[in-house]
Structure 1
Amino acid sequence: MCRDYLRPALLIFASIAVGVVGWSGSVLFLPVALGFPVLWSISQTRSVAALVSSGYFLAASRGLPQGVAAFYSSDIWPGLLLWLCALLSFVTVHAVLWTMNARTRPFRYVLAAIIMAIPPFGITGWAHPVTAAGVLFAGWGWWGLGFMTGGLAGLATRTWPAVAIALTGFWLWSAAIWTDPKLPEGWRGVDLEMGASLGRDAGLHRQRDMIATVRGAASDGARYVVLPESALGFWTPTVERLWVGVLHNADATVIAGAALLDAWGYDNVLVAIDRKGGRILYRERMPVPGSMWQPWRSWFGESGGARADFFANPVVSIGAGRGAPLICYEQLIVWPVLQSMLHDPDFIIAVGNGWWTDGTSIVAIQRTAATAWAKLFAKPLVIAFNT
């Protein structure tokens, strides 16, 4: 009887360890997440598979309750609610698709992985093991993604030890020669440490601080300076005139986060500003569900919340190049970056405003995910975060 409980307990404990280590915020530890399909496949019952899925997902996304509590300046319960709602979709998909049939199990796992990568389930498809492709198959692009998919299927078969040994070989080789993605030539990403005031303090003093930061970066030869999400606050004609006036005799272009407000809600955007004027460069495809994206408001005739553009503007033109922007939450899920890569951009721009993640590994995980995707497709990467 004791043995009947020992195996499931060990699988659950192992899934928690895989989630914690794989999503610790270190890019070279991402392949540890590939332990999840193994543990899922060797679960002996559907209920154990569900518990294994729960352990992995909760451990991988462990920073969310604390982060949401800080975001709302409240207790931990709103964060726990969002955490558990996201867990429900992940566990449901993996529990429903689990099977005792060893022949169909790898196909079912790949199907679960695809479902968790695209909307609607992909909206909360955090901690996706396929992200490890950027470590194992750096520079292989779509071929690397294909091999990673095949590896995930292989890990859900009875021959998983052989597959794991092969993938470990790729992992060790990659770790031995690892280098971080390069910056696009002439670009500079500026990290800020302004906490919760960024985006909320829209006064002239704050704008002048941003301007001084940009001038400092431009004086070092940067032609494109990237500021974090929400750096400019609300994008208004007044803010535009201020920045265009400052840049009237400069060759630099500023890429910065802002909010574009109207009567129905707002868009979380990136704007591009140079001496010729300012323009909306990018509208976020997937804002944070719950805290930003609140689609239920429209069901009751209410306004407010950020709009989700889902599959809009996957790449944007900047100067002579084309970039793939990823704002904050988009770095944690799969489809935005893959949609952008279908258009073969020249580089990736990853920005975020992570002041609310203090004391968690969320920002480190965002950076890790962006780095992994940039390495997989051999794209230069520019990052700008506020903490």
Structure 2
Amino acid sequence: MCRDYFRPALLIFSSMVIGVLGWSGYVLLLPVALGFPVLWSISQTRTVAALVSAGYFLAASRGLPQGVAAFYSSDIWPGLLLWLCASLSFVAVHTVLWTKNSGVRPFRYLLAAIFMSIPPFGVTGWAHPVTAAGALFPGWGWWGLGFMTAGLAGLVTRMWPDVAIALAGFWLWSAAIWTDPKLPEGWHGVDLEMGASLGREAGLQRQRDLIATVRNAANDGARFVVLPESALGFWTLTVARLWTSASGDSDATVIAGATVLNATGYDNVLVAIDREGGSILYRERMPVPGSMWQPWRSWFGESGGGRADFFANPVVSIGASRAAPLICYEQLIVWPILQSMMHDPDFVVAVGNGWWTEGTSIVAIQRAATAAWAKLFAKPLVLSFNT
């Protein structure tokens, strides 16, 4: 009887360990997540597969309860509820598509991987093992993604030990030659430590402090300076005029996060400002579900919440270059970066406002995932975060 419970318990515990290590915030540990499809495939029953899926996902997203509690200044219970609700789509997809039939299992797993990459299930498609492609096949681009997909399919077959050994070889080779994504020439990403006040305290002195920060970067030779998500607060004509007038004779362009109000809620955006003026550069495709994106409000005739543009503006033009922008939550899911890469941008710009993640690895995971995608497609990367 004990032996009947030992194997499932070992699988569940192993899936949790894989979730913790793979999503620890270190880009070269992302391939650890490839252990999940193996455990999923060798589960003896659908129930065990469900528990393995839950163990992996909950361990990978373990920082969410604490982060939500900090964001709302509440106790841990709302965060725990959101944590469990967010896991439902991942667990449901992998439970329904699990099968004992080894002949169709690779197809089933690839179907689950696709479902968790695109809306609607992909809205909470965190901790996707395919993110490890950049840590295994840096610079291989779409070919690397193809090999990663084939590897995932191979890991759920009876030949998984051979496939795992082959992938481990690529992992060791990648680790031996690894270098972080380079910064585009003339670009500077500013990291701030302003906590919860960034974007909320939008007085004149705060704007002047940010302007001084940009000037310092411009004096060091930067032609494009990136500020984190929500750095400017609400984007208004007054703010636009202040920043435009502050540009003076500088040739530097500022790319900064801001919020734009509209009739039904707001847009989380990036704006571009130079001495000629300011304009909205990018509207976030996927705001954070629950805290920002609240589609249920419209069902009851209410307004409010951040708007999701899903597949809009995958690349934007900045000067003579084209960039793939990613704001905060978009760095944790799959389809925004892949959609952008279909347009072959020149580099990636990733910003975030992670003050609420203190004590968790969420920002480190965002950085690691974005770096992995940038390395896969050999794209320079600009990062700017507030903590």
TM, length-normalised to structure 1: 1.00
State the match for 1:182 in structure 2.
Answer: 182
User: How do 1:271-286 and structure 2 match up within 5 A?
Assistant: 271-286=271-286
User: How do 1:32-71 and structure 2 match up within 5 A?
Assistant: 32-71=32-71
Query: Alpha-carbon deviations, 1:73-111, whole Å to 9, x = none?
Result: 001111111111111110000000000001101110011
State the match for 2:89 in structure 1.
Answer: 89
State the match for 2:373 in structure 1.
Answer: 373
User: How do 1:258-277 and structure 2 match up within 5 A?
Assistant: 258-277=258-277
Distance, in Å, in 1 between the alignment partners of 2:317 and 2:65 is 37
Identity fraction in percent: 84
Secondary structure (helix, strand or coil) at the match of 1:185 reads coil
Distance, in Å, in 2 between the alignment partners of 1:50 and 1:280 is 43
Q: Residue 263 of structure 1: CA displacement?
A: 2.8
The aligned amino acid for 1:305 is G
The aligned amino acid for 2:14 is A
The aligned amino acid for 1:100 is K
The answer (yes or no) to whether the contact 1:199–1:231 under 8 Å persists in 2 is: yes
Distance, in Å, in 2 between the alignment partners of 1:145 and 1:285 is 22
Structure 1, unpaired ranges of 5+: none
User: How do 1:311-330 and structure 2 match up within 5 A?
Assistant: 311-330=311-330
User: How do 1:70-149 and structure 2 match up within 5 A?
Assistant: 70-149=70-149
The aligned amino acid for 1:197 is S
Distance, in Å, in 1 between the alignment partners of 2:267 and 2:228 is 15
Distance, in Å, in 1 between the alignment partners of 2:264 and 2:154 is 48
Query: Alpha-carbon deviations, 1:38-77, whole Å to 9, x = none?
Result: 0000000000000000000000000000001100000111
User: How do 1:188-199 and structure 2 match up within 5 A?
Assistant: 188-199=188-199
Distance, in Å, in 2 between the alignment partners of 1:291 and 1:303 is 14
Distance, in Å, in 1 between the alignment partners of 2:128 and 2:326 is 17
Residues 1:9 and 2:9 are matched in the alignment: yes
Q: Residue 248 of structure 1: CA displacement?
A: 2.6
Distance, in Å, in 1 between the alignment partners of 2:374 and 2:9 is 37
Query: Alpha-carbon deviations, 1:207-239, whole Å to 9, x = none?
Result: 001001000100000000000000000000000
The aligned amino acid for 1:189 is G
The answer (yes or no) to whether the contact 1:348–1:380 under 8 Å persists in 2 is: yes
Aligned alpha-carbon RMSD (Å): 0.5
Query: Alpha-carbon deviations, 1:130-180, whole Å to 9, x = none?
Result: 000000000000000000000000000000000000000000000000000
The aligned amino acid for 1:289 is P
Distance, in Å, in 2 between the alignment partners of 1:151 and 1:86 is 27
The aligned amino acid for 1:188 is H
Distance, in Å, in 1 between the alignment partners of 2:213 and 2:161 is 52
Secondary structure (helix, strand or coil) at the match of 1:153 reads helix
Distance, in Å, in 1 between the alignment partners of 2:52 and 2:202 is 46
The aligned amino acid for 1:47 is T
Secondary structure (helix, strand or coil) at the match of 1:202 reads coil
Q: Residue 190 of structure 1: CA displacement?
A: 0.2
Distance, in Å, in 2 between the alignment partners of 1:5 and 1:265 is 50
Query: Alpha-carbon deviations, 1:313-363, whole Å to 9, x = none?
Result: 000000000000000000000000000000000000000000000000000
Distance, in Å, in 2 between the alignment partners of 1:360 and 1:220 is 33
State the match for 2:222 in structure 1.
Answer: 222
Distance, in Å, in 2 between the alignment partners of 1:77 and 1:322 is 43
Q: Residue 300 of structure 1: CA displacement?
A: 1.0
Distance, in Å, in 2 between the alignment partners of 1:325 and 1:87 is 26
User: How do 1:155-170 and structure 2 match up within 5 A?
Assistant: 155-170=155-170
Distance, in Å, in 2 between the alignment partners of 1:308 and 1:265 is 11
Residues 1:303 and 2:267 are matched in the alignment: no
Q: Residue 301 of structure 1: CA displacement?
A: 1.0
Moved over 6 A (4+): none
Distance, in Å, in 2 between the alignment partners of 1:202 and 1:384 is 19
Distance, in Å, in 2 between the alignment partners of 1:98 and 1:272 is 47
Distance, in Å, in 2 between the alignment partners of 1:40 and 1:333 is 21
Residues 1:332 and 2:325 are matched in the alignment: no
Distance, in Å, in 1 between the alignment partners of 2:81 and 2:308 is 21
Distance, in Å, in 1 between the alignment partners of 2:168 and 2:83 is 31
The answer (yes or no) to whether the contact 1:248–1:276 under 8 Å persists in 2 is: no
Q: Residue 264 of structure 1: CA displacement?
A: 1.5
Moved more, 78-87 or 90-99: 78-87
Q: Residue 262 of structure 1: CA displacement?
A: 2.1
Distance, in Å, in 1 between the alignment partners of 2:301 and 2:46 is 41
Distance, in Å, in 2 between the alignment partners of 1:81 and 1:321 is 43
Q: Residue 2 of structure 1: CA displacement?
A: 0.9
Residues 1:23 and 2:23 are matched in the alignment: yes
The aligned amino acid for 2:191 is D
Distance, in Å, in 2 between the alignment partners of 1:78 and 1:292 is 15
TM, length-normalised to structure 2: 1.00
Distance, in Å, in 2 between the alignment partners of 1:168 and 1:264 is 49
State the match for 2:239 in structure 1.
Answer: 239
